[in-house]
Amino acid sequence: MADPRKIEAAVKSVHNQKAFIQDLLIDALGWDIDERAEDVEDISFEWSAEELRANDLDKHIVDGTIRQIRPLKGNPWGIFILEFRNPDVFATGRGMTGTLRKVLRGLVPSKKKRSSLASFRNENLLFICNHDYKHYRFAHFKTPDKNCHSAPLAAFGWGPGDPTTEMGSGLILLRRRGGFGKMRACQGARELQREGTSTTR
């Protein structure tokens, strides 16, 4: 069972890649990741802007690439790490949503996409956005309803000096289902929204 105190302690300690992997993903969330890993490159593989068909990705994302965490056992979700160049997007939100929508278009099924590349339903994608592994947003596109033309984005996160107690509810859900593996994606998105996360469009 998730320990809110352990999760809160992890949130406070995550200031670099090693702590992100060891303290948050492995220890607090219990994700099935190699315990020897200390660098994001050890647990993930790269997607380029070309593979994503996302022009100008390097304007907002370090090196113009994103990284997918290697699939977790029994988990149908695609979990992606995006390192943003500018910390201001975590305060204003400007530049984050548009960038995530560009990436989303390159990950969902499409006739324009190379057949060798993996595809995901948009509700089966989790984006872990960060700046210098100090500012964080966990973001997820929900299935749009009949009155919405684009998928709404639900997100929660924290940065240096932010209160950490409110982050626990969203992170507990990530541990509760081992990275979403035990719950239907659409159900999980609604649950995240109910338990104190914010929504941006």
Q: Enumerate residues 6+ apart whose C-beta is below 8 A from 61.
A: 82, 83, 84, 85, 99
d(Cα 194, Cα 171) in Å, to the nearest integer? 13
Q: Is residue 162 pLDDT above 90, yes or no?
A: no
Lowest mean pLDDT among 19-23, 31-35, 52-56, 146-150: 146-150
Joined together, the tokens standing for residue 33 give: 């990741």
Question: Minimum mean pLDDT among 5-9, 120-124, 178-182, 185-189: which range?
Answer: 185-189
Q: Predicted confidence band at 196 (pLDDT cuts at 50, 70, 90)?
A: very low
Q: Report the percent of the chain where pLDDT is more than 70.
A: 80
Partner residues linked to 57 by β-bridges: none
Between CA 115 and CA 125 the distance in angstroms is 19
Beta-strand relationship, 65-69 and 44-48: antiparallel
Across 166-180, average pLDDT = 59
First to last CA, the chain: 33
Banded pLDDT at 63 (limits 50, 70, 90)? very high
pTM of the model: 0.83
Structural contact between residues 106 and 50, judged by C-beta atoms closer than 8 angstroms: no
Q: Contact, 106 vs 54, CB < 8 A?
A: yes
Give the 3-state secondary structure of residue 61.
strand
Which DSSP helix (H) or strand (E) runs through 45?
Answer: strand 44-48
Three-class SS state of 157: strand
- What's the whole-number mean pLDDT along residues 50-62? 92
pLDDT tens for each residue of 93-111: 677 999 999 999 999 999 8
Asked if 154 and 188 touch (Cβ cutoff 8 Å), the reply is: no
- 154 neighbors 192 (Cβ within 8 angstroms): yes
Closest CA to 61 of 45, 50, 49: 49
For 66-79, what is each residue's pLDDT tens digit?
999 998 887 888 99
Higher local confidence (pLDDT), 88 or 143: 88
Question: How far is 121 from 177, CA to CA, in rounded Å?
Answer: 18
Query: Quick one: tokens of 145?
Result: 């309803």
Q: Over the chain, what is the mean pLDDT? A: 81
